[in-house]
Amino acid sequence: MDSHRTIARCAGIAGLFAGVLMSAPLMAEQQNTPEQQNTPEQQDTAGQPAASQSDQSNPHANVPLVPDSPTWNSFHGQLNAQKYSPLDQINVDNVGQLEKVWEVHTGDISDGKGDTPATVWSATPVFANDTLYIGTPFYKLIAYDPATGKEKWRFDTQSSREALTQPVLKNRGVAYWEADNPVEGESCQKIVYMGTMDAQLFAIDADTGKPCQNFADNGVLNVDQWNTINPKFPLSLLQPPTIVGDHVIFGWAGKDWAYEEAPAGTVFSVNARTGEREWTFEALPEDVRAKSGTANVWTQMSADEKNGLIYLPVSSPSPNYWGGNRKEDIPLGTSTTALDINTGKVVWSRQWVHHDLWDYDINSAPTLMDITVDGKEIPALVQATKQGFLFVVNRLTGEDVWPIEERPVPQGDGSVEGEVYSPTQPFPTRPAPLLDQSKKPAIWGLADAVGFGQCSRLWDKLTYEGMYTPPTTRGEGALAYPDSAGGVQWGGVAFDPVSQTAIVNTSHIVQTIKLYNREDYKKADNGSGNESGFAPQEGAPYGMRLNVARNWLGMPCWEPPFGELVAIDMHTGDVKWRKPVGASQQFGFFMPERWGSPTIGGPAVTAGGVVFIGASMDAKARAYSLDTGEELWEDQTEAPVVANPAVYEYKGRQYVAFVAGGNTILKDQVGDQIAVYALPEDKK
């Protein structure tokens, strides 16, 4: 599900710094239903890409992986999720001269202290139709002049501001579509789409801001009408759809930490013009859906239009931390799964966590790239994960680029009844893990001293047998590293196709996981916060508790850095450079930048050799050298920039836009600011 799990709003990672500091490819059985029931004959059992089956019907067979012209018309800039711009007006030599050329405040902001939940705004702006489009956490769509920020139109969905499935009001923006052959004089030849927490998908004319009457019910599609299995909560649409051709494809988010039985994580494709359902995808086998749930897609997807494939990052089944109700093989859970865009049929799938007991959802769009390894050109895909792994496979077949090994993992301490454990888990041999989870993280001496040995005592009470130590009822629980928020979050991997350099930001957080039987859980439960606290897993024999490992003053018990930016040479899988990113900050105190910051959000990279990123607790927009990792520029924003930046060109001037919305996982600082930067007019 989505990464938030909470009932009561409180600091998640922010709590780290309270006190003194701030104080083998699977050819999966097809499970699609119902409009496009696929027969066995339709399944490509030879593992060939979907395009080989449907070249004649694929109008995008000649679409290159990297667009010929600069675009930023989708959540990650392009469907390949490279977050790459070929623009080079802003480069390493002049990026230090960037100036803020306009900013706006949408007015849609809440700190959660009143009747309205806090806002969490991770929307990357979309540049299309000579306009900058954005969605807000109050579920409004806004169109801006890209050079001045002057508002062109605004549409209010009038959606509920209740925290139905998330503890916050969350929005990650909009998606854009336009007709290949527009009909002159007709409306809705260009459409902006946005979903809401109450499962309504809106289609709005991109020119006028008015609902598209031919789409579903006068411009609104009620997605929850298809929520027929365990409809315990609405299928919240917090991530914008992925638009491929005339297909509008989307998953949904909810709260799989709350129930053993939850909605099944169906992915839908609907027609861009009408909203008519075209196909559905189910990651859960049919006999599991009634007793488990989720394995949904709550984050962005990517697509290879030329080869007719869309790639799904699939989350874990429910509940998150006990799997005695789902002992069957669920091969598409916690996976990257490639589907035929036109039919939704599975082409290949790779599971990255077997029998997931750690909430290690696959949480970011796979980044598609053409790389040269040992002199051979490979159509590749990089899947970043919460574990801090980068799995690299052939995107047409799912086969390894560098070997991915199944290695034995811990089998539990016998304290959890009804549980089963996978004997092995997949480990990539290249690139190296983004953080060292091969051993118990070292105790930070400073935090241990300030806590009078509290961290050492905690470490002694935690079960730890290595990566994938299962949850336990004993002691203070099991040590989990990285935490359930992830080494990498939904910002994912950026990629420079010229130098074949991948860029990714990570967080280094240690968490504890403890299970309680029902009687003990009733006594222990005292609420939850983002990525921390108690979760009932109602219906399961165990409730659970997540805690960040810290001392009584809120200092992290493990050694810094707490977050880094990493560059990887994709010819070899070697790390080119890594740097602590940002500064941990709260209550006005900034920690040394060598300690880094936990990060949410991700980077963008340009042909000017520049990496743009926010993501850190100190609420700054930054630029780094792609070649060396040197920090070249920074500017203060209203709140942490927890969205990937957008890079675009309008009338000969190039811009980079940051959305400073904040996220309560990082800290209790929210914003409603869009800050747009460019070179001075005489410098461009």
Span 333-360, mean pLDDT? 98
Strands (E), 293-420: 302-304, 309-313, 335-340, 346-351, 367-373, 376-384, 390-394, 404-408
Share of the chain above pLDDT 70, in %: 91
Say whether 495 sits in a helix, a strand or coil: strand
554 pLDDT tier (thresholds 50, 70, 90)? confident
Say whether 535 sits in a helix, a strand or coil: strand
Span 606-633, mean pLDDT? 98
Whether 236 contacts 260, CB under 8 Å: no
49 pLDDT tier (thresholds 50, 70, 90)? very low
Residues 443, 447, 450, CA angle at the centre, nearest 5°? 140
- What is the β-pairing status of strands 646-650 and 631-636? unpaired
Span 357-380, mean pLDDT? 97
Name the more confident of 194 and 50.
194
The predicted structure's pLDDT at residue 531: 63
The predicted structure's pLDDT at residue 51: 46
Residues, the chain? 684
Mean pLDDT across the chain: 91
pTM of the model: 0.93
Share of the chain above pLDDT 90, in %: 83
Task: Give the whole-angstrom CA distance, residue 497 versus residue 82.
Answer: 8
464-521 per-position pLDDT tens digit: 999 999 999 999 999 999 998 889 999 999 999 999 999 999 999 999 999 999 999 9
The predicted structure's pLDDT at residue 264: 95
Span 431-452, mean pLDDT? 95
- What is the β-pairing status of strands 169-171 and 119-121? parallel
Half-sphere exposure (Cβ direction) of 162: Cα atoms closer than 13 Å: 8
- Please list the active-site residues: 359
120-130 per-position pLDDT tens digit: 999 999 999 99
241-262 per-position pLDDT tens digit: 999 999 999 999 988 788 999 9
39 pLDDT tier (thresholds 50, 70, 90)? very low
Task: Give the whole-angstrom CA distance, residue 561 versus residue 610.
Answer: 23
63-97 per-position pLDDT tens digit: 899 988 899 999 999 999 999 999 999 999 999 99
Residue 26 predicted with pLDDT over 90: no
Residue 641 predicted with pLDDT over 80: yes
Say whether 347 sits in a helix, a strand or coil: strand
403-413 per-position pLDDT tens digit: 999 999 999 99
